[in-house]
Structures are given as C-alpha cells and as structure tokens.
Amino acid sequence: MTTARVIVNSALRKLGRLGAGREARLADAEDTLQALRSMYGSWIASGACGRLCDVIPTGTNYTSRGNERIYRRGENPLTVTLPELVSEGWNRDYGTDRYGGNFGTVITITQNGNEVTVVVEAAQPIGNGVVTPRDMSAVVISDEVGGQTRSWLYDGNVKKWQSIDDLTLDSDAPRSSADPEGLAACLALEMVDKFGIDVSEFTIRAAARFQTAMTMRFGMRRESTYQPEAYY
C-alpha cells in the first residue's frame, strides 16, 4: 500500500510544484494532505461510496452494517464495531456470534467524546457464505456530546478499515493500492485552484479512470438489489 506522503508528492509533481526525487515543503504537504482528507469526505457525502443509512443506537454497543451514519446521543460511552467479515446477501448478519464472536475494528466514543480504537481478530476460520465488506464501504460517527464527526472507509484491496480524520503523511492512503497514480491525479485536480496551475490531459484522464473504477466497481462481485415487500 502507498502512504499519503507518496500520494501527496505525486500530486504536487503532476502540478509542476515538485521536482523528481524531491520532498514537498511542509506547508505544501500539509495543505495537500488536508485536501486529500477533504476529497475522501466529499466522496462519502456525494454517494460515491454508496448511500448511507442513518442509525441511532439505543444501547452502548453497536455493530455497524457498513455504509451507515451513526449518531451518538447522550453522555453514555458508545462502542461501535466495524466488521471485518460479513455474510453474503442483502440481509447481512455482521460480526455476530454466528461467525465466531464480535471482531473487527472497535471504536469506543468515551463519555467526554474522546475516541479509543482497538482491532479484534477473528478467533477461528469463518464458514461458507461469509465475505469481506464491500470495497469503499463507509461508516460515519457523529457525536452529539463531543461535537465531532469521524469517518472510516473500507479498502477492499487491503481488507481493512481506515480512519479519514486521523490520516497523516505517514499513514496508508485509502484506495492507494488500487491505483496510486489515479488517486494522485484526483488529488492534483483538487489542488488546481489553490496553485492556479493547469493540469495535463493525462492527469485528467487518470483521475477519470480512477473515479470510474471507484464508482462502477466492475472489479467486485455483483451485489444483490434490495426489493422491499409489497403491501396491498
């Protein structure tokens, strides 16, 4: 997987702001990293990662189904599990004892709104009919008490959830393993207005290729379409 620093440097080279083999200045690197975080957030908000369902957990422990916007109300700590494996089909059973106990990325929002993250591994091999979450699944947690909103993306190529808000220059960049040059091209287009520089036709095509692959997902299994029961 490629670090955010490599993606940032590549984007700045595509804009002509950085020579080959050189490292970006700290100010330029931090500005471009912030643009990378914002770009991921815009993909979630625009629906490029799929539609998000609003959820308000009633207890203190909740296992997400993926592609959910979770709202924490009140001061009680809330523990959210982001699943590493799910059952196939539309009505999925996520991270339950049926598949070997709760496991995945566990996020606990404490009483004062702070965040604690733990990764819990599956204890044994999982049976048939169980797959990894859908590539580019998103989970957003909004905290009423702390007043913060945090987002995670699931990278189907490396099979793990990644925090958008905690992304640093040395963090692995979500979706970078799928097409690092395409991701850098998308980031370069995000920074065009800031630097006032025209980008090449190749960069535009690379960004379009990346966005098409991300939204169309032709490299993934076909998902079942949900059809609600008809009532007469």
Which tokens go with 125?
């091999």
The structure tokens listed for 115 are 């965040």
Residue 113 domain-assigned? yes
Q: Name the residue type at position 91.
A: N
Cα 217 to Cα 221: distance, rounded to the nearest angstrom: 8
Instruction: Look up residue 216 and give its DSSP letter.
Output: H
Domains of the chain: total: 1
Of the candidates 126, 163, 104, 155, the one whose C-alpha atom is nearest the C-alpha of residue 95 is 104
Distance, CA of 38 to chain centre: 12
pTM of the model: 0.78
**Domain annotation covers residue 61:** yes
Angle in degrees, CA 135, 215, 220, rounded to 5: 45
- Determine the Cα angle at 92 with ends 90 and 98, to 5°: 155
The helix/strand/coil state of 86 is: strand
Name the helix (H) or strand (E) containing 87: strand 86-87
Q: What is the pLDDT of residue 13?
A: 93
Counting Cβ atoms within 10 Å, is residue 105 exposed (0-12), middle (13-18) or buried (19+)? buried
Residue 168 included in any domain: no
> In this predicted structure, what is the pLDDT of residue 128?
52
Confirm whether 114 is domain-assigned. Answer: yes
Note whether residue 95 is domain-resident.
yes
Note down pLDDT in tens along the chain; length 232 residues: 789 999 999 999 999 988 887 889 999 999 999 999 999 999 999 999 888 999 999 888 988 888 999 999 888 889 999 888 776 553 333 334 333 344 567 878 776 777 777 665 554 444 555 778 888 899 999 998 888 999 999 998 888 899 999 999 999 999 898 899 999 999 999 999 888 888 899 999 999 999 998 888 766 666 554 444 444 3
Instruction: Determine the pLDDT at residue 119.
Output: 61
76 inside domain: yes
Whether 87 is in a domain gets the answer yes
224, part of any domain = no
CB 37 within 8 A of CB 167: yes
pLDDT number for residue 191: 93
Cα separation of 69 and 113, whole Å?
17
Range of the domain at 89: 57-163
Nearest to 56 by CA among 144, 133, 118: 144
Nearest Cα residue to 195 out of 35, 5, 20, 23: 35
How far apart are the C-alpha atoms of 83 and 159, rounded to whole Å? 11
Please tell me what DSSP assigns to residue 174. Answer: T
Q: Which two tokens stand for residue 75?
A: 């001061």
Strand residues in the chain grouped as ranges (E): 53-55, 61-63, 68-72, 78-83, 86-87, 104-109, 115-120, 130-131, 138-143, 149-155, 160-163
The tally of CA atoms less than 13 A away on the side-chain side of residue 29 is 15
Cα separation, 154 vs 105, whole angstroms: 11
